[in-house]
Amino acid sequence: MVSVYGTLGPSCAHSAILAEMLRLGMTGVRLNLSHGSLMESAPAIEALRQAERITGKKADLLIDMQGPELRIGALREPLMLPEGGEIDLKALPLPGVVSAALAPGSELLLDDGKLLLRCLDASRAAVIRGGTLESRKSVAVPGLSVTAPPLTDLDRENLRHAAAMGVTGVMQPFVRSAEDLRQVRRAMAEAGCAHLRLFAKIEDAHGVAMLPQLLPAADEIVIARGDLGNAMPLWQLPAAQKRIAAACRAAGKPFMVVTQMLQSMTHSPVPTRAEVSDVFNAVLDGAASVMVTGETAVGEYPTQVIRYLAATAAEASRYLSHL
């Protein structure tokens, strides 16, 4: 059976909504800790527990760590970036390692690549692909390698509370080596949660290259197509996904596919045909899990998202059973 995950957020963090999502086939939820601590999320987790009591169904709870991922800092209010305009880079709270790497012609991909800036000089950038930028969204500079430790102080604090909060799995972003995963496992053991499953998120070209050594060190591989799609031309992403899936199958390692699986449903009650095909094909490729993120966290139709995700995964599983 394919596991079906939603992401907890303001749109669905209510017991009645979560109960309906569980009835429709959701088997677990992801909690994104890039924006806060596990303890701050206690009300949302309690809503999940109440939904479990209502339905009699248990749900996995995965925590998505901060890790070495690069993100925009806090903004006083969402920042409009009009396409074709320019922006003063000082208005962007960029990580120091990003600011130091910028040069004329450098590209900045923001919010999983939804926004694109191109540096004109040390202080200005042209807005190539515009939109609204919010606090703590991802930032990537193609070709930039980050050497930050795999865990932040907040990550370690969150691990200390994980067992008591009923967490069942830890998602480690931007995994670069088996040593990254060994460090996370040591931290989990020190925090009393060594029994939790460890999910290794593949989010850049280095992670793809190091996949053979990551396979035995992780419990499940995550094909995280948001930042992975920033690390290469988008038309190369499907082939990268196929190669990772094939390597996981050969090694007998479960894998998850995530990011923009039903993106249009953030604002639409029905998905596109292409999105449904994407989910179906991920299961045909052997995915053990499929996950949506913003579609349920901040989208307008969280229950419908799970309905389509779970039904499509089930249909793909039925198709496989008759081959």
Our answer to whether residue 259 is catalytic in this structure is yes
Q: Is the pLDDT of residue 8 over 90?
A: yes
Share of the chain above pLDDT 70, in %: 99
Determine the pLDDT at residue 229. Answer: 92
Of the listed 7, 27, 259, 303, which one is catalytic? Answer: 259
Our answer to whether residue 71 is catalytic in this structure is yes
Determine the pLDDT at residue 228. Answer: 93
Least confident of 11-15, 77-81, 273-277: 77-81
With bands split at pLDDT 50, 70 and 90, how would you rate the model's confidence at 320?
A: very high
Q: What is the pTM of this model?
A: 0.86
Class of domain 3-69+146-321: alpha beta
With bands split at pLDDT 50, 70 and 90, how would you rate the model's confidence at 167?
A: very high
Of the listed 7, 27, 137, 201, which one is catalytic? Answer: 201
Of the listed 7, 27, 30, 296, which one is catalytic? Answer: 30
With bands split at pLDDT 50, 70 and 90, how would you rate the model's confidence at 146?
A: low
Class of domain 79-140: mainly beta
Q: Is the pLDDT of residue 148 over 80?
A: no
Determine the pLDDT at residue 99. Answer: 86
Determine the pLDDT at residue 275. Answer: 98
Q: What is the mean pLDDT of residues 256-282?
A: 98
Of the listed 7, 27, 71, 312, which one is catalytic? Answer: 71
Domain 79-140 in the same topology as domain 3-69+146-321: no
Delimit the domains of the chain by residue range. Answer: 3-69+146-321, 79-140
Least confident of 2-6, 90-94, 191-195, 242-246: 90-94
Chain segment 38-59, per-residue pLDDT in tens: 999 999 999 999 999 999 999 9
**What are 44's two structure tokens?**
């949302």
